[in-house]
């Protein structure tokens, strides 16, 4: 039986701002872009939320709901620093840490010997250390499986913990609304409600095959979660150094213009899509093209540049192909190298 803690900082960005500027205490505050620049909110504090202000809401609408809202621009470098300080606290308890974002992480404390191995006391100690040392509050969920730990961290928010002990897992899931399951969004939930599926117990009694035929992959996920099956491990992820997309062709290609159009029309949009979330936290340091030839020899051409540049990628492709001396191409990939704190080089790429 595993012991998993999901720690989630309360209104993280905005809490850091209020901590660092006492003038903001007890006022409705949000971090986000200005109304003039058609910005959206990233985070708002709990006072602002009472007015109906929410994350991802356009600033103009938030100001209609809460005219006194104080808007502050984000300071990503500060949030990253605080995030690393939080991580240092986590590391006193376990090395098995999976960050989900700057303010949220799963911790596997199964092997932690502190507090006689009580995950509840460990979670309490983590939250009080964060409060004492960083003057910020966090909430935590404790459960034997991952998704329940995440569901639980939301239940006594802010500044609270919630424990789902192993012998309560079944009854908790029975009474849990399906919309709480990570991966079940608003649209999915409405569809489930139309089928009279609201709680875990409604799904549990159904036939797995029928669920899959009706909901596909989601059907399997729902059934697994509602049956208490979630053996996904905590993934100890290192900082991502690059993002790449690549494609292996069914038949080797020798025509440069075809490779060019695959790069521009297929690979580039996919790379841009994947880059969006990471570029909030990291800048681009370089771009590159990878080519694998029909004889499996591989070459990479890179350029130091701070943006994704289509013409430059096409030029890199041309140079890389030139190295093949007329050999056909079996795989083409493009990537961006992200700037990092220590600038080590590591490649993580996605297979299509």
- Under rule CB under 5 A, residue 130 binds Mg ion: no
Q: Count CB atoms within 10 A of the CB of residue 49.
A: 16
Beta-bridge partners for 163: 142
> Which residue, 7 or 275, has its beta carbon nearer to Mg ion?
7
For this structure, is 17 an active site residue? no
- Under rule CB under 5 A, residue 246 binds Mg ion: no
Nearest approach, Cβ of residue 9 and Mg ion (Å): 5
> Which residue, 96 or 105, has its beta carbon nearer to Mg ion?
105
Element (DSSP H or E) covering residue 88:
helix 76-90
Nearest approach, Cβ of residue 277 and Mg ion (Å): 16
Nearest approach, Cβ of residue 8 and Mg ion (Å): 4
How far apart are alpha carbons 109 and 96 in whole angstroms? Answer: 8
* Region near Mg ion per CB under 5 A, out of 1-9, 66-74, 244-252, 336-344: 1-9
> Which residue, 16 or 259, has its beta carbon nearer to Mg ion?
16
Q: What stretches of 14-117 adopt beta strand conformation (E)? A: 29-32, 41-44, 70-72, 97-101, 104-108
Q: Which DSSP state fits 181?
A: S
Cβ-contact 316, 301 below 8 angstroms: yes
* Region near Mg ion per CB under 5 A, out of 9-17, 123-131, 170-178, 230-238: 9-17
Residue tagged active-site, from 17, 91, 98, 104? 104
How far apart are alpha carbons 53 and 301 in whole angstroms? Answer: 47
Cβ-contact 56, 14 below 8 angstroms: no
> Which residue, 7 or 164, has its beta carbon nearer to Mg ion?
7
Nearest approach, Cβ of residue 155 and Mg ion (Å): 14
Interaction with Mg ion in 93-122: which residues (CB under 5 A)?
Answer: 103
Q: Between vectors from CA 48 to CA 89 and to CA 180, what angle results, nearest 5°?
A: 65
Q: Which DSSP state fits 267?
A: I
Residues with Cβ within 8 Å of 168's Cβ and at least 6 positions away in sequence, in order, are none
Interaction with Mg ion in 279-338: which residues (CB under 5 A)?
Answer: none
For Mg ion (CB under 5 A), the number of binding residues is 3
How far apart are alpha carbons 146 and 6 in whole angstroms? Answer: 8
Nearest approach, Cβ of residue 151 and Mg ion (Å): 14
> Which residue, 9 or 314, has its beta carbon nearer to Mg ion?
9
> Which residue, 2 or 6, has its beta carbon nearer to Mg ion?
6
* Region near Mg ion per CB under 5 A, out of 8-16, 198-206, 265-273, 336-344: 8-16
- Under rule CB under 5 A, residue 8 binds Mg ion: yes
Nearest approach, Cβ of residue 138 and Mg ion (Å): 8
Per-position b or e across 300-339, b if 16+ CB within 10 A of its CB: ebbeebeebeeeebbebbeebbeebeebebbbbbbbbbbe
> Which residue, 9 or 48, has its beta carbon nearer to Mg ion?
9
Please list the helix, strand and coil fractions of the chain in percent, rounded to the nearest 5, in that order: 40, 25, 35
Nearest approach, Cβ of residue 139 and Mg ion (Å): 8
* Region near Mg ion per CB under 5 A, out of 5-13, 81-89, 123-131, 306-314: 5-13
How far apart are alpha carbons 82 and 102 in whole angstroms? Answer: 9
Catalytic residues: 104
| Residue ranges that bind Mg ion, judged by CB under 5 A | 8-9, 103
């Amino acid at each position: 039986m595993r012991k998993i803690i999901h720690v989630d900082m309360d209104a993280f960005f905005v809490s850091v701002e209020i901590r660092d500027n006492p003038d903001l205490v007890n006022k409705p505050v949000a971090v986000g872009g200005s109304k003039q620049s058609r910005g959206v909110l990233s985070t708002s504090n709990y006072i602002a939320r009472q007015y109906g202000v929410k994350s991802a809401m356009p600033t103009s609408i938030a100001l209609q709901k809460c005219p006194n809202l104080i808007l502050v621009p984000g300071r990503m470098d500060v949030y990253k620093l605080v995030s690393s300080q939080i991580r240092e606290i986590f590391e006193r308890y376990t090395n098995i840490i999976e960050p989900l974002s700057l303010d949220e992480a799963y911790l596997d404390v199964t092997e932690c010997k502190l507090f006689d191995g009580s995950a509840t006391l460990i979670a309490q100690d983590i939250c009080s250390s964060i409060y004492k040392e960083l003057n910020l509050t966090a909430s935590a969920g404790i459960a034997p499986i991952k998704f329940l730990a995440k569901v639980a961290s939301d239940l006594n928010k802010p500044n609270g913990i919630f424990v789902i002990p192993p012998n309560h897992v079944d009854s908790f899931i029975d009474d849990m609304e399906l919309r709480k399951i990570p991966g079940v969004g608003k649209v999915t939930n409405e569809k489930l409600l139309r089928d009279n599926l609201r709680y875990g117990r409604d799904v549990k009694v159904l036939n797995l095959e029928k669920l899959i035929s009706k909901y596909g992959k989601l059907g399997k996920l729902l059934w697994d979660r509602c049956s208490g099956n979630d053996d996904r491990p905590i993934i100890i992820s290192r900082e991502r150094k690059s993002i790449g997309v690549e494609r292996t062709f069914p038949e080797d290609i020798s025509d440069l213009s075809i490779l060019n159009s695959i790069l521009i029309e297929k690979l580039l949009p996919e790379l841009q899509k994947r880059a969006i979330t990471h570029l909030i936290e990291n800048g681009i340091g370089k771009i590159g093209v990878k080519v694998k030839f029909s004889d499996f020899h591989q070459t990479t051409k890179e350029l130091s540049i701070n943006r994704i540049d289509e013409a430059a990628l096409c030029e890199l492709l041309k140079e890389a192909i030139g190295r093949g001396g007329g050999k056909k191409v079996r795989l083409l990939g493009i990537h961006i190298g992200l700037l990092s704190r220590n600038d080590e080089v590591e490649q993580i790429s996605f297979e299509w």
